[in-house]
Amino acid sequence: MAEEIRILLAHADQIDPAQAEDYIKVGGYKGLEKARGMTSKDLIEEVKKSGLRGRGGAGFNAGMKWSFVPPAEVKYVVCNLDEGEPGTYKDRIICEKNAQALIEGMAICGVAINAQQGYIYCRGEYPFVVDLLRKAIQSAKDVGALGDFDIEVRMGAGAYVCGEETALIESIEGHRGEPRFKPPFPGVAGLWGVPTVVNNVETFACLPYILTNGADCFASIGAPKYPGTKVLTLTGDVNNPTYFEVPTNYILSDVVYKLGGGVKNGRKFKAVQVGGTSGAFIPEQNLNTPIDFDSMSAIGAALGSGAVLVMDETRDIVDIVTRISKFFEHESCGKCNPCREGTFRCREIMEKINSGRATEADIDNLLLLARVMKRAALCGLGQAAPVPITSTIEHFGHEYRRKLLQYA
Amino acid sequence: MIKLTIDGKEIEVARGTMLLDACRQAGADIPTLCYDPDLRLAGSCRMCVVDVKGRPALVASCVAPAENGMVVQTESDDVVESRKIILELLAARHKFECPTCEKDGECKLQDYMYRYGVKESRYDGEGPHFGMEDPNPFIERDYDKCIMCTRCVRACDGITGAQAINVKDRGHHAKIAAPFDGKLADSTCVFCGQCIMVCPVGALSSKVAAGQGKPAQNKKVLTTCTYCGTGCTLELNVNNDRVVGVTSNRDENWSPVNKGALCVKGRFGWDFIHSPDRLTTPMIRENGGLRPASWDEALDFAAGKIKEIKEKYGPDSLAMFSSARVTNEENYLAQKLMRAVIGTNNVDHCARL
Amino acid sequence: MANYQDIIASCKDKKGGIIEAYHALQREFNYIPREAVAEAARVFGVSEAQAYGVATFYSYLSVEKRGKYIVRMCESAPCHVAGADKVLKAMEDYLGIKVGETTADGKFTLELTECVGQCQATPVITVNSQPVFNVSSEKIPEILSAYK
Amino acid sequence: MTNAIGELEKDATAIFLIGTNTTENHPVIGYKIRKNVRENGAKLIVADPREIELAKMADVYMQFRPGTDVALLNGMMNVIINEGLLDKEFVETRTEAYEAFAQVVEKYTPEYVSPITGVAAEDIRKAARIYAEAERASICYAMGLTQHSTGTDNVKSCCNLALLTGNLGKPGTGVNPLRGQNNVQGACDMGALPVVFTAYQGVGIEANREKFEKAWGVKLSGQNGLTLTAAINKAHHGELKALLVLGENPMVSDPDLDHVEDALDNLEFLMVQDIFLTETAQRADVVFPGVTFAEKEGTFTNTERRVQRVRKAISNRGDARQDYEILCELSTRLGYPMSYSSPEEIFEEIRTLTPSYAGITYQRLEGKGLHWPCPTEDHPGTPILHKEKFNRGLGLFHAIEFREAAELPDAEYPLILSTGRSLFHYHTGTMTRRAVALDLHQPENEIQVNPATAAKLGIIDGEMARVVTRRGNIELKARLTDIVKENVIFTFFHFSEAAANVLTNASVLDPVAGIPEYKVSAARLEKIS
């Protein structure tokens, strides 16, 4: 099997995403209508049953997450459109092709948890997406599709850490985007201290399909434990660097060779980094893994953002990881010690290795630091920052050692 | 009540108790840098991490509620390793000038490095890199010693409410700053020194007290402030029979009004005690000027004059201004002197001024 | 040119909207003037220290004066492997400035950015947040000369 | 204070500040108020002629004309009565003389009061509603309210407001004077006042005299003594011959310094006991060196009536002596031997004569101190007064008409001058001007002027300008600030070299309290060319 299945992008380039009418013509807002006819409990049950898991980092069952929201006078639905993982642009694509599905999905969530206000937090790198979404929301309101649900778009300003849900909330509140400690989780005390559901674009955009076609239908697509589709973005040394929507039981090697058309310039494959910059580097021997959450976890990787960065045989892994370590140094918010100091020292040591000034002890130091960051950092950024380092030392250790002083 | 096991010891705590408090209740000594019971929680220094069975990552105990059935290890290998590395990371950015540091002996970084045997940092790259000079006469700011616990920021906001400082920039460049990274005098800072009070290291210290005595050498005498009527409790730091600084006690049971908080006068306005202008001997007016006199001479002179005037013009020709700045006991004696000894009710003080 | 008070006032009804106000200010001035930080603090009911802390947290916000065109080179891994270094060098040469600097005529400021989410067409630069795709060192003079 | 400081941080749901620049003059209390507003959403009403720091966070800020406190307060009470926001039950069960009071207040509608005070009628209404509708509302004031020729009326009006709304006797309520000096409360409690012994036991009451006569073993005068301001005037007239000054500095702190100087020069004998050679000590016939708080054992009583320990940290400087020892020596030489082995022994004597302190011992003061009244050794102290009943039984309403300040602006002196304190200095500056950092930070006095006023006179920021009143003139650095309105100027009184009290009025005092009108002097500002 090497076919795309398009749920989210089914009408890509056939409708104007800013126009609610266009979307309605192809069956849009039916899911919301159906949701409105259900009790909150049944609606959440339906979403649970679909098996939809958050398309962000944690892969938590969406319906389950909603069911934890306690009663409160004011609640919020927040969409995380801060996809900051380098190599990732699938949320942009979903918006550009099907913004109304996101809007409908958020409104469905609003019905489920009884919230009247939604926020979309869009990364500052996408001002045109902000414009598009604002138009799309206005259009949806104009045709009366949203009822009493309203959505405001807020723009980030260049901070990868704001992809972390609590940092994102801080940023919407107008603060420095520093993550909060959990608990309390946003579901209990989120935006302005009230219960808040935060999901990402892809998660929300699946909801209209689930409601319209039924939970069972969605649950039957892809991997049973992580059903549905996944939008992937291919970058790096592949012939076909573009986006695809595939079922979640799709095999990684098919992504590279079938959809990606194989390695560019007839070169040999060396590695693929999946899930963006915080993802693990996967060597050839693990390419036969399906992309679903659990299968990837089993090989120490994560599908995460769906970014797939392919590297050919000529690529200098240590150089790339050095560059990645710079990214994390730049993006650490600076709140907690392990991350603020750790990402800084990781970059220092990586540069030392990359420039041939390091010894074996530096690699040990790096692994020790990675272990502490992973265990002790406050949020996902600091915990995941060392993953590219540890996964490449594991699978491509020889490339590090080649650069050490004694071998230089 | 909930039950949990800490270092093999089963304890019971009220629901809602933080894990840190539970651990302390169980007798575990949990190190903390950013934690301060009077301030908004940060959960950022990660020194208080503990091992909770079944959790993939370590848990920062200051921000984690204790849960029923938790099994906690406070000094597991993982915990100790993490704390040591965190200390090494902090040590790598901290300017060590312990011999001349005002906090030497009362520095948490020092204490924990000693406790965990961290003699040096393995991170030999870039060192302290901020520096800072602030021309104000009260607070020394040396961000090359700062460990970014943000207690000063939280105290400035939560205790004083001045909100003069915050974190600027991010990541390793993050630094505590007044607006536009400017001088405190140009900010809303009121120089209360609460930031010095909560700073766990020597990044913030008193310029007025600088160089006069290290914490361990100073005796601390709890007393009541001599300025306004609020009645704040403060600690006079005494070294060699001299007041060399003012600190404050944050225990409500000893500092009931202010709980450690002071204002600029209370914290920095004590050095008049040793002003060279202090009067140290009685004086008598002679030929239009005042000359030193012995106590006996001066007292006899004063008593003689008072008697003379009382006899000549009657007791109501004398009056006394007692003082709102002396003690109750002294005020009592002052009015007793006027009423019982001189025989007049002409006694007042500056309550109206 | 709109004044900063009006720009900030236009965002005042957005709860916590200080970042939105900063964006609006940057659309007008390309940076956030000092007085505007103070005004934003007042309007959004936060301290100046906090308003300044927010303005310096986000890499797209600047409290330093910048040029009319802010040119950013993406240096994230996909662009890095696609040759971002060479493109950056070409831009520095063409503009005669280093990263973080502004040309003497006040026209261009050169900055680095992390991924801008256009990885289908690496390497990518942006000029005032508009992405330019598939750039190469050779194309730089032509691309930048279009901005007057 | 009727209530405790801590209640301002958590119990009060509304706080009404009038004539107190709390964050500068009682900073730590200021922190607590700010915290309550920010964190608990307590409502804040600020009435002050200057737009002080707390005004910025107030729900209502009333920038009223100096000296119109009674009008403003009557206006608020008029609203409360007319809108039925009064606490009827409290008024009926715990107060008296309401009718006469209400009759007077009737004409003080917001519209009537607005032109007098310069405050918009709507703001007066809003303030009245916030205060009256709050579950627990506290009034705090300081010298801004009291230093007027109508000071007593102003305070009574605050009491009326609290009585009217039942805001007394509960946590977070009360009428709370924030007293300016560390032991001003204690000095009053100890009878350093011309009409009372300790604990406000009147000297005119025979039983009181008998009690003290018995304890002290001498016959006592029942004639009220002279207040400080009256004493200066008597000295000026030559009727007062000798003045003993203990840690006071009238040559900076008292109104109309030229007048004070003449008065002191007129004395046959001036004795000063102090830690520095103050401006007053410089004129003395004999000077005794006392010691600072750091060298003393004893007690201070703070503004919330909490008696706390003062502990000796260092020995006497030079040949200086403990102030109590100096008093004892003097007494002994005057033929009344006094000797106490320690301040504690004096305190033990105080207890026996002072019902409100009777239950307090040094031992009990370790730790948190005790709020008086504390009549017995097992009494926990009284943080909140008037819980069940008032001292006199029922709370007494006072019917108070508004009276203008004694000295109003005219063509020659068109501005209103107010004086007050700075955060960085204390009283006459005796201590703070010698605290190096404080004096470095604020080395000189200033006159705060509205930019519009300054512009009319051609005065620029930082320039020296002359302030003139009927008493005299001084030159001060102009600080242009819009925290004062165009008709008001303000200066500090801490600086002897630019002493504000050269300007102030000693001729008119509050008839009851004898307090000078520091907050209202007619003045003129001149450019120095």
Q: What is the pLDDT of residues C16-42, one digit of tens each?
A: 999 999 999 999 999 999 999 999 999
* Shared domain check, A244 and A95: no
User: A interface mutation test: which of B116, B123, B130, B163 has the most A CBs within 10 A?
Assistant: B123
Do the beta carbons of residue A118 and residue A111 sit within 8 Å?
A: no
Tell me which of B274, B308, B323 is where a domain ends. B274
How far is Cα C19 from Cα B226, in angstroms, rounded to an integer? 46
C1 in B contact zone (CB under 8 Å): no
User: C interface mutation test: which of A196, A238, A323 has the most C CBs within 10 A?
Assistant: A323
Number of structural domains chain B divides into: 4
Residues 11-30 of chain C whose Cβ lies under 8 A from any Cβ of chain A: 14-20, 22-23
A347 in B contact zone (CB under 8 Å): no
pLDDT of residue A304: 84
* Shared domain check, D265 and D171: no
Confirm whether B332 is domain-assigned: yes
Confirm whether A14 is domain-assigned: no
Do the beta carbons of residue B302 and residue D290 sit within 8 Å?
A: no
pLDDT for residue A377 is more than 60: yes
Interchain contact, D195 vs B345, CB within 8 Å = yes
Q: What is the 3-state secondary structure (H, E, C) of D393-413?
A: ECEECCCCCCCCCCCCCCCCC
Tell me which of D141, D156, D178 is where a domain ends. D178
**Residue of chain B nearest C50, judged by CA positions:** B166
Confirm whether B84 is domain-assigned: no
Residue B325, beta-bridge partner list = none
pLDDT for residue B219 is more than 80: yes
* Shared domain check, A322 and A336: yes
**What pLDDT, in 10s, does the model give residues D384-411?**
999 999 989 999 999 999 999 999 999 9
Confirm whether A4 is domain-assigned: no
Interchain contact, B180 vs C63, CB within 8 Å = yes
* Shared domain check, D233 and D120: no
User: Do the two chains A and B touch, given a threshold of 8 Å on CB pairs and at least 3 pairs?
Assistant: yes
Its domain, for residue B337, covers: 283-352
**Residue of chain B nearest A185, judged by CA positions:** B64
User: Do the two chains D and A touch, given a threshold of 8 Å on CB pairs and at least 3 pairs?
Assistant: no
Question: Mean pLDDT across the stretch B112-141?
Answer: 94
Distance from CA of D273 to the nearest CA of B (A): 9
Query: Length of chain D in residues, anyone?
Result: 529
* Shared domain check, D460 and D343: no
Interchain contact, C81 vs A236, CB within 8 Å = yes
Q: Considering only residues A294 and D369, tell me which one the structure prediction assigns the higher pLDDT.
A: D369
Interchain contact, D324 vs B339, CB within 8 Å = no
**What pLDDT, in 10s, does the model give residues C48-99?**
999 999 999 999 999 999 999 999 999 998 999 899 999 999 999 999 999 9
Tell me which of A194, A220, A246 is where a domain ends. A220
Burial pattern B325-339, b for ≥16 Cβ within 10 A else e, equals: bbbbbbbbbbbbbbb
Interchain contact, B331 vs D23, CB within 8 Å = no
Interchain contact, C78 vs A92, CB within 8 Å = no
* Shared domain check, B94 and B65: no
Interchain contact, A378 vs B46, CB within 8 Å = yes
ipTM for this model: 0.95
How far is Cα A184 from Cα A68, in angstroms, rounded to an integer? 12
How far is Cα D247 from Cα A309, in angstroms, rounded to an integer? 81
pLDDT for residue A408 is more than 60: no
* Shared domain check, D301 and D266: yes
D294 in B contact zone (CB under 8 Å): yes
pLDDT for residue A2 is more than 60: no
Beta strand ranges found along D87-223 (DSSP E): 95-96, 137-141, 175-177
Confirm whether A5 is domain-assigned: no
* Shared domain check, D208 and D66: no
Q: State the Cα angle at B91 between B85 and B94, rounded to 5°.
A: 150
Residue A229, H or E segment = strand A229-236
Which CATH entry fits the domain spanning C69-145: 3.30.1330.10, 3.40.30.10, 3.30.450.20, 2.30.30.140? 3.40.30.10
How far is Cα D499 from Cα D494, in angstroms, rounded to an integer? 7
C61 in A contact zone (CB under 8 Å): yes
Question: Mean pLDDT across the stretch A321-346?
Answer: 97
Its domain, for residue A123, covers: 20-220
Its domain, for residue D472, covers: 415-527
* Shared domain check, D195 and D172: no
Confirm whether D190 is domain-assigned: yes
C53 in B contact zone (CB under 8 Å): yes
Distances (CA, A) of D518 to D259, D406, D504: 15, 11, 6
Q: Which residues of C touch B188 (CB under 8 A)?
A: 47-49
* Shared domain check, B112 and B182: yes
Question: Mean pLDDT across the stretch D165-184?
Answer: 96
CATH code 3.40.30.10 region(s) in chain C: 69-145
Closest CB to A177: pick one of C17, C44, C57. C57
pLDDT of residue A333: 97
C31 in A contact zone (CB under 8 Å): no
Tell me which of A312, A327, A349 is where a domain ends. A312
Interchain contact, A320 vs C77, CB within 8 Å = yes
* Shared domain check, D460 and D365: no
Do the beta carbons of residue D423 and residue B190 sit within 8 Å?
A: yes
* Shared domain check, D253 and D165: no
* Shared domain check, D363 and D463: no
Interchain contact, C50 vs B166, CB within 8 Å = yes
Confirm whether B107 is domain-assigned: yes
Confirm whether D260 is domain-assigned: yes
Confirm whether D503 is domain-assigned: yes
pLDDT of residue A58: 75
Closest CB to B43: pick one of A330, A332, A378. A378
Q: Give the three-class secondary structure for D267.
A: coil
Q: Which residues of B touch C42 (CB under 8 A)?
A: none
What CATH number is associated with residue D322? 3.40.50.740
pLDDT of residue B353: 80
What CATH number is associated with residue A305? 3.10.20.600
* Shared domain check, A212 and A349: no
Distance from CA of A165 to the nearest CA of B (A): 17
* Shared domain check, B105 and B197: yes
Interchain contact, A88 vs C116, CB within 8 Å = no
pLDDT for residue A386 is more than 70: yes
Q: Which residues of C touch A172 (CB under 8 A)?
A: 16
Confirm whether D106 is domain-assigned: yes
Interchain contact, B177 vs C52, CB within 8 Å = yes
Backbone angles phi, psi at B83, to 5 degrees: -65, -40
User: Tokens 């011999």, residue?
Assistant: B99
Q: Under an 8 Å CB criterion, which residues of B touch A? A: 41-47, 49, 57-58, 60, 63-65, 78, 81-82, 85-86, 89-90, 92-93, 122-123, 125-126, 147-148, 167, 169-174
Interchain contact, C49 vs B188, CB within 8 Å = yes
pLDDT for residue A1 is more than 60: no
Residue D492, H or E segment = strand D488-492
**Residue of chain B nearest A329, judged by CA positions:** B171
User: Tokens 């407001």, residue?
Assistant: D161
* Shared domain check, B180 and B110: yes
* Shared domain check, D190 and D169: no
C48 in B contact zone (CB under 8 Å): yes
Burial pattern B223-250, b for ≥16 Cβ within 10 A else e, equals: bbbbbbbbbbbbbbbbbeebbbbbbbbb
User: Tokens 């032509």, residue?
Assistant: C142
Distance from CA of B124 to the nearest CA of C (A): 27
What CATH number is associated with residue A354? 1.20.1440.230
Confirm whether D378 is domain-assigned: no
User: A interface mutation test: which of C43, C63, C120 has the most A CBs within 10 A?
Assistant: C120
Distance from CA of C55 to the nearest CA of A (A): 8
Distance from CA of C103 to the nearest CA of A (A): 23
Number of structural domains chain A divides into: 3
Q: Which residues of B touch C53 (CB under 8 A)?
A: 166-168, 177
* Shared domain check, B174 and B112: yes
* Shared domain check, A96 and A161: yes
pLDDT of residue A407: 67
pLDDT of residue C1: 58
B184 in C contact zone (CB under 8 Å): no
What CATH number is associated with residue D13? 3.40.228.10
Distances (CA, A) of D196 to B310, B348, C57, D189, D205: 22, 10, 63, 9, 9
Interchain contact, C114 vs A330, CB within 8 Å = yes
Q: Considering only residues D74 and A3, tell me which one the structure prediction assigns the higher pLDDT.
A: D74
B179 in C contact zone (CB under 8 Å): yes
* Shared domain check, B221 and B144: no
* Shared domain check, B168 and B112: yes
Confirm whether B221 is domain-assigned: yes
User: Tokens 């966070």, residue?
Assistant: D57
Q: Which residues of B touch A340 (CB under 8 A)?
A: 148, 171-172, 174
Confirm whether B14 is domain-assigned: yes
pLDDT of residue B154: 98
Do the beta carbons of residue A219 and residue A227 sit within 8 Å?
A: yes
Residue D367, judged by CB atoms within 10 A of its CB (0-12, 13-18, 19+), counts as middle
A377 in B contact zone (CB under 8 Å): yes
Residues 93-132 of chain C whose Cβ lies under 8 A from any Cβ of chain A: 113-122, 126, 129-130
Confirm whether B131 is domain-assigned: no
Number of structural domains chain D divides into: 3
What subunits make at least 3 CB pairs under 8 angstroms with C?
A: A, B
Confirm whether A6 is domain-assigned: no
